[in-house]
């Protein structure tokens, strides 16, 4: 589709003025509308459904008979496209109105909109979608601002990652394309075939540089997942021990460094541990309680209202997904808050990165770092009952980062 006029045929404009579509990433400009844009793909991603193609999703949810007409129209469209391919006409350069009979275009659009509306009505995650929508818009805005790339710094690397970066930059700038629901837990990913900094080898991070007069600042939660596990338990005495403690590993008896390495492994596996099994038993209790709930209902709701759907996962997997989802939503809600606070500033967020947020901060606005740090540490105090300590690093490229002093 070559224009918004074309794409308009494929979006349902509801009586309340809001919009329902399928796969907003194919036409993200529609997020500029003041009304809420409901993406049926994201709604069913949140349910853990397979949503690669609208036709397949519709068959899964609505049944073959309901989708039969739409499938027939799409088959006619494919026949036309095959004809253009045979005659070596690049049909992708033209709008559908130019390529297909008007009656067929109308039928496809009408049936598509009808199916999308029915899928919307049957979807179960509308309430959480409204909470997620500011995140979706924020990610779209972040994707509209460039990352600055020093391609010379990786000129000798011929890996897939480097080649993808080289093919994606324009005049030293890279624009990220986020997928707002990348995994069952809600963890972000990136549009298929685009640069994904989450899986970029560490030695290639040096290509991400700060522009003149800016520094890259990374604010990183300390021991975030263990801390979330502690403060998701219902044991008030247990939580009180760790409340507002900078170094949770110092609480446990034994070697601190060994505890640090072992604790997450213990939390998310079936391994026994002579110290943690006793001292951190409320975490094991929470794990059992969550698994029991999953066995009964097939789902859990995290602290932020996100529903996680399960089948027959073991208790450690259920628990890991639950903690990870809380981590994800804590970061995403903070991302939106910090993004909004920087609207009139030179400094800006460039992306959330696992359990941290990464920014370009202007030299005249370094005072913002302590403000953002405080926000991150205290924003979810009411929800979890404790400060969540944050460490800060800075640098001119994303590989060579030093501790903030």
Domain ranges of the chain: 4-124, 126-405
CB 96 within 8 A of CB 1: yes
For 223-252, what is the mean pLDDT?
A: 93
Name which of 30, 8, 29, 11 is nearest 21 in CA terms. 11
Residue 10 has pLDDT above 70, yes or no: no
Query: Residues with Cβ < 8 Å from 307, sequence gap 6 or more?
Result: 46, 47, 124, 125, 128, 299, 300, 301
CA distance 323 to 283: 11
pLDDT (mean) for 260-284: 93
Classify residue 157 by burial, with Cβ atoms within 10 Å: 0-12, 13-18, 19+.
Answer: middle
Query: Model confidence at 5, in pLDDT bands (50, 70, 90)?
Result: very low
pLDDT at 14: 62
For residue 262, the model assigns a pLDDT of: 92
Mean pLDDT of 347-361: 97
pLDDT for 27 beyond 90: no
pTM: 0.89
Phi/psi at 148 (nearest 5 deg)? -95, 130
Confidence class of residue 30 from pLDDT cuts 50, 70 and 90? confident
User: Cα 56 from chain centroid?
Assistant: 23
Enumerate the β-bridge partners of residue 12. 20
Determine the average pLDDT of the residues in 63-68: 96
Tell me the per-residue pLDDT of 132-166, one tens digit each, with 9 for 90 and over.
999 999 999 999 999 999 999 999 999 999 999 99
Q: What is the per-residue pLDDT for 4? A: 36
Mean pLDDT of 99-115: 87
What are the distances in angstroms from CA 169 to CA 42, 150, 166, 224?
Answer: 28, 10, 6, 33
Percent of the chain with pLDDT over 70: 94
Predicted confidence (pLDDT) at residue 370 exceeds the cutoff of 90: yes
- Pick one of 3.30.1330.20, 3.30.1280.10, 3.40.50.300, 3.30.70.370 as the CATH number of 126-405: 3.30.70.370
Distance set, CA 196 to CA 143, 239, 250, 389 (Å): 12, 36, 35, 27
3-state SS assignment for residue 1: coil
Cα distance from N-terminal residue to C-terminal residue, the chain: 51
Q: How confident is the model at residue 15 (pLDDT cuts 50, 70, 90)?
A: low
- Residue 334's pLDDT is 98
pLDDT for residue 32:
84
Mean pLDDT, rounded, for 203-221:
96
* Mean pLDDT of the region 245-271: 90
Pairing status of strand 402-403 against strand 390-395:
antiparallel
- The DSSP result for 263-301, as a single string, is HHHHHTSS---TTHHHHTHHHHHHHHHHHHHHHHHSEEE
Residues 71-106 have pLDDT tens digits of 999 998 888 878 877 877 776 776 766 777 888 888
Query: Is the pLDDT score of 38 beyond 80?
Result: yes
Higher per-residue confidence, 258 vs 93: 258
Task: Name, in order, each residue with C-beta under 8 angstroms of 213's C-beta and a sequence gap of 6 or more.
Answer: 362, 363, 364
| Average pLDDT of the residues in 25-37 | 84
Q: How far apart are CA 215 and CA 364, in angstroms?
A: 11
- The pLDDT value recorded for residue 399 is 94
The pLDDT, as a whole number, for residue 7 is 44
Indicate the pLDDT class of residue 26, thresholds 50, 70 and 90: confident
**Would you place residue 256 in the very low, low, confident or very high pLDDT band (cuts 50, 70, 90)?**
confident
Q: What number is the average pLDDT over the span 199-209?
A: 94
Task: Evaluate if residue 6 carries a pLDDT over 50.
Answer: no
d(CA 249, CA 281): 15
Question: What are residue 180's DSSP bridge partners?
Answer: none
The pLDDT mean for the chain works out to 91
What is the spatial distance between Cα 231 and Cα 283, in angstroms, rounded to a whole number?
Answer: 9
pLDDT at residue number 1: 36
> What is the bridge-based pairing of β-strands 173-174 and 147-149?
antiparallel
């Amino acid at each position: 589709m070559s224009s918004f006029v074309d794409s308009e045929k494929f979006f349902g404009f509801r009586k309340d003025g809001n919009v329902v579509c399928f796969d907003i990433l194919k036409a993200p400009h529609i997020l500029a509308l003041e009304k809420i844009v409901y993406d049926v793909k994201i709604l069913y991603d949140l349910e853990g459904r397979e949503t690669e193609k609208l036709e397949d999703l519709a068959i899964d949810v609505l049944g073959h008979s309901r989708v039969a007409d739409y499938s027939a129209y799409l088959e006619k469209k494919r026949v036309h496209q095959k004809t253009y391919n045979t005659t070596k006409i690049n049909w992708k350069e033209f709008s559908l109105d130019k390529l297909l009979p008007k009656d067929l275009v109308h039928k496809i659009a009408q049936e598509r909109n009808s199916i999308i509306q029915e899928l919307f009505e049957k979807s179960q995650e509308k309430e959480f979608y409204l909470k997620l929508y500011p995140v979706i818009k924020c990610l779209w805005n972040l994707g509209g601002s460039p990352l600055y790339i020093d391609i010379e710094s990786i000129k000798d690397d011929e890996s897939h990652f480097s080649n993808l970066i080289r093919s994606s930059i324009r005049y030293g700038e890279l624009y990220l394309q986020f997928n707002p629901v990348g995994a069952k837990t809600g963890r972000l990913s990136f549009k298929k075939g685009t640069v994904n900094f989450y899986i970029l080898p560490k030695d290639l991070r040096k290509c991400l540089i700060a522009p003149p007069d800016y520094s890259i600042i990374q604010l990183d939660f300390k021991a975030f997942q263990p801390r979330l596990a502690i403060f998701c338990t219902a044991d008030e005495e247990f939580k009180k021990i760790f409340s507002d403690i900078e170094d949770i590993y110092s609480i446990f008896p034994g070697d601190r460094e060994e505890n640090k390495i072992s604790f997450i492994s213990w939390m998310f596996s079936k391994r026994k541990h002579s110290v943690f099994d006793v001292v951190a038993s409320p975490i094991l209790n929470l794990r059992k309680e969550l698994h029991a709930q999953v066995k009964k209902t097939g789902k859990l709701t995290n602290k932020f209202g996100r529903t996680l759907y399960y089948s027959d996962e073991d208790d450690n997997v259920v628990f890991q997904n639950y903690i990870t989802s809380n981590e994800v939503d804590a970061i995403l809600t903070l991302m939106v808050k910090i993004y909004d606070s920087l609207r009139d500033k030179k400094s800006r967020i460039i992306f959330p990165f696992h359990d941290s947020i990464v920014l370009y901060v202007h030299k005249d606005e370094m005072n913002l770092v302590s403000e953002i740090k405080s926000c991150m540490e205290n924003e979810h105090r009411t929800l979890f009952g404790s400060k969540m300590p944050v460490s800060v690093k800075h640098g001119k490229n994303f590989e060579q980062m030093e501790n903030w002093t």
